[in-house]
Structure 1
Amino acid sequence: MEELVNDKLLEDRNATGSDVASPSSSTSTESSEVKRKLPRKSLDVSGPVKPYHPRLKNFWYPIAFSTDLKDDTMIPIDCFEEPWVLFRGKDGNPGCVQNTCAHRACPLHLGSVNEGRIQCPYHGWEYTTDGKCEKMPSTRLLNVKIRSLPCLEQEGMIWIWPGDDPPTPTLPSLQPPSGFVIHAEIVMELPIEHGLLLDNLLDLAHAPFTHTSTFAKGWTVPSLVKFLTPASGLQGYWDPYPIDMEFRPPCMVLSTIGISKPGKLEGQSTKECTTHLHQLHVCIPSSRNKTRLLYRMSLDFAPVLKHIPFMHYLWRHFAEQVLNEDLRLVIGQQERMINGANVWNLPVAYDKLGVRYRLWRNAVDQGDKQLPFSKPM
């Protein structure tokens, strides 16, 4: 495993390994290094959100929880500004087809699922999970097919591949670590661009200022916050907070949090804590100003909580409280960004993981063959 280092924020393209600041460097040294070597405006995230690069679509995206898709139900979704609908076929496997009837462009999710086919509510045309129309009541059956996406189900989640490239043969695992029990799975539709939401989720330094009514109530403000990570990684841990965090391309954030008493931090690593909370956030780009958020929460203690009636509603209430503390700020950021402000105008040391996400995202948008912070192909 690579040694964890507190490297300086944005290295020059020609910088060598010796330029990386060591964990023992003083704060003033780190500050002067950033001022001296950080290229001005090295990250520019400003103006209206640009159309998504086609390469960003060439990933598997977890789009729904399996428990939300019953045999006779449908889940309408937007992904990359296109409408789709999920439903289960006759074999029980999920499918994803365009949410538009080939006949008169009626939204299919307003209809029903009959024997594994989705039926349009307008004239009763029925489509299978691969998009083929198999029924056209009151007229001669024509050879009609609507668009469909590769769709798979794994470990309690439904995934789609919205890109034009052939899908990769394997899906990543998003299961919580061993010993954890899933307690809540929540879906929210949010009025913000998914990159801004990821920026927010990959930042913990804001917690004692933003989340003063929820999980960070009573937290003291540390004199220094650092994110320690491998020199070429998208994962690491926060100091002094007992939280491990990872950005998993293309749009997932996984974190393990050491639970401590309210208002107090328990140790400097998750290993020093006896109980933990694991979170998964999936930020799906519905459109250039909307995100479909999948949130899953797991605990390695108190399994009895899973069986308490209505506990799911309590978890959702708390998740919405935390998210609303962020949303009012991120919505304000989005408004200013659209009007020309650079939301990454002056990154500092604790912004490291968010900056790395943006560098990865820029490389995708530019069509780079080898993406940063990933294994060579």
Structure 2
Amino acid sequence: WVLFRDEHGQAACIADSCAHRACPISSGTVEAGRAVCPYHGWKYAADGACTDMPSTVFCRNVGVRSLPVGEKDGFVWAWPGDGEPPSELPGFTRPPEEHAVHAEIFVDVPVEHGLLMENLLDLAHAPFTHTSTFARGWPVPDAVKFHAHKLLSGQWDPYPIAMAFQPPCMVLSHIGLAQPGKIERGVTAEQCARHLHQLHVCMPAKRGHTRLLYRMSLDFMPWARHVPFIDQVWKAVAGQVLGEDMVLVLGQQDRMERGIDTWNFPVSYDKLAVRYRRWR
């Protein structure tokens, strides 16, 4: 599938295979709201209809499949299912009340999206893996538990972090902070005065690769959004955290490709990631 904007600025989604010779339309351009195939210049409208066939007689009723599309809270949603799409788009991508978006980052990651999802749904690894970033100085707890409130969401203990998996490929985290950059132990996120809210979207890009979309919101420090080059600071921090994970997740992917089970011996704190794997 390929996304583009039509002549009215509306998002459109059509099959990424030209009706002529099956060339990927995504390798082409967009001209006046039409997706243009780079092979012979055939053009496609938002509904998938071919509107131009240069250098030959135009044939009617030629096109490719299109999907219903909607936009909400900065996200474009496409409906690949059967029947009519839902009347309302999901609302969980919106930051909680009194939160403002401070960072929106996307990065292509050379990891299968399921492995990345399972990494995000696992907080027990933080004091071992993220010793140079957000978990620097965290003591290793005697026990890490995940208290499930619903099938795919709940609260981490002893960390003040609520987490949820939103099908098909999103992780929501609501983190309570004692002060910027530090968390309290033994309390819930709701009991904290300051909060950091994270949305991770792990979109499969191609075999063994993921397009990771990240949105971070805060309910404090509103002035920080106006600091010059603050977006570069957040991007650098996110890159450091992801880099710590990649060393391990790439190793898992290598072993998975060689037929080794990445879930040899799950334990209690793997609850949310295991439930995601079973859902999948």
Aligned counterpart, 1:148: 66
Whole-Å Cα distance in 1 between the matches of residues 175 and 41 of structure 2?
A: 50
Whole-Å Cα distance in 2 between the matches of residues 129 and 298 of structure 1?
A: 33
Aligned counterpart, 1:298: 217
- Aligned AA (2:63): K
CA offset at residue 267 of structure 1? 4.7
Report SS of the residue matched to 1:281. Answer: strand
Indicate conservation of the 8 Å contact 1:129/1:148, yes or no.
Answer: yes
Whole-Å Cα distance in 1 between the matches of residues 183 and 153 of structure 2?
A: 24
| Greater relative contact order (CA < 8 Å, ≥ 6 in sequence) | 1
Cα deviation, 1:307-351, whole Å, max 9, x if unaligned, reads: 222211211111111111111101111111222221111111111
CA 1:275–1:131: 2 relative to 1, 3 Å: same
CA 1:109–1:340: 2 relative to 1, 3 Å: closer
Whole-Å Cα distance in 2 between the matches of residues 276 and 348 of structure 1?
A: 29
Indicate conservation of the 8 Å contact 1:258/1:266, yes or no.
Answer: no
1:180 aligns with 2:99: yes
Aligned counterpart, 2:168: 250
CA 1:164–1:205: 2 relative to 1, 3 Å: same
Indicate conservation of the 8 Å contact 1:208/1:220, yes or no.
Answer: yes
Indicate conservation of the 8 Å contact 1:245/1:254, yes or no.
Answer: yes
Whole-Å Cα distance in 1 between the matches of residues 166 and 27 of structure 2?
A: 34
Whole-Å Cα distance in 1 between the matches of residues 234 and 78 of structure 2?
A: 27
Whole-Å Cα distance in 2 between the matches of residues 165 and 294 of structure 1?
A: 28
Whole-Å Cα distance in 2 between the matches of residues 212 and 360 of structure 1?
A: 31
- Aligned AA (2:242): L
Report SS of the residue matched to 2:30. Answer: strand
Listed as ranges, the gaps of 5+ residues in structure 1 are 1-83, 362-377
Aligned counterpart, 1:203: 122
Indicate conservation of the 8 Å contact 1:111/1:118, yes or no.
Answer: yes
1:27-42 aligned within 5 A: none
- Number of corresponding residues: 277
Aligned counterpart, 1:28: none
Of Structure 1 and Structure 2, which has the larger fraction of its residues in strand?
A: 2
Cα deviation, 1:163-212, whole Å, max 9, x if unaligned, reads: 45653333211111101001111111111111111111111000000001
Report SS of the residue matched to 1:342. Answer: coil
Aligned counterpart, 1:310: 229
1:281 aligns with 2:200: yes
CA offset at residue 162 of structure 1? 3.3
- Aligned AA (2:14): V
Indicate conservation of the 8 Å contact 1:186/1:296, yes or no.
Answer: yes
- Aligned AA (1:153): E
- Aligned AA (1:132): A
Aligned counterpart, 1:193: 112
Indicate conservation of the 8 Å contact 1:111/1:120, yes or no.
Answer: yes
1:139 aligns with 2:53: no
Cα deviation, 1:4-44, whole Å, max 9, x if unaligned, reads: xxxxxxxxxxxxxxxxxxxxxxxxxxxxxxxxxxxxxxxxx
Indicate conservation of the 8 Å contact 1:218/1:264, yes or no.
Answer: no
Indicate conservation of the 8 Å contact 2:158/2:185, yes or no.
Answer: no
Report SS of the residue matched to 1:327. Answer: helix
Indicate conservation of the 8 Å contact 2:201/2:212, yes or no.
Answer: yes
Q: Which of 37, 40, 43 matches 1:120?
A: 37
Whole-Å Cα distance in 2 between the matches of residues 310 and 161 of structure 1?
A: 36
Indicate conservation of the 8 Å contact 2:4/2:13, yes or no.
Answer: yes
Indicate conservation of the 8 Å contact 2:144/2:156, yes or no.
Answer: yes
CA RMSD of aligned residues (A): 1.9
Aligned counterpart, 1:220: 139
CA offset at residue 255 of structure 1? 0.5
Aligned counterpart, 1:328: 247
Whole-Å Cα distance in 2 between the matches of residues 156 and 299 of structure 1?
A: 17
- Percentage of matched positions with identical amino acids: 57
- Aligned AA (2:163): M
- Aligned AA (1:273): C
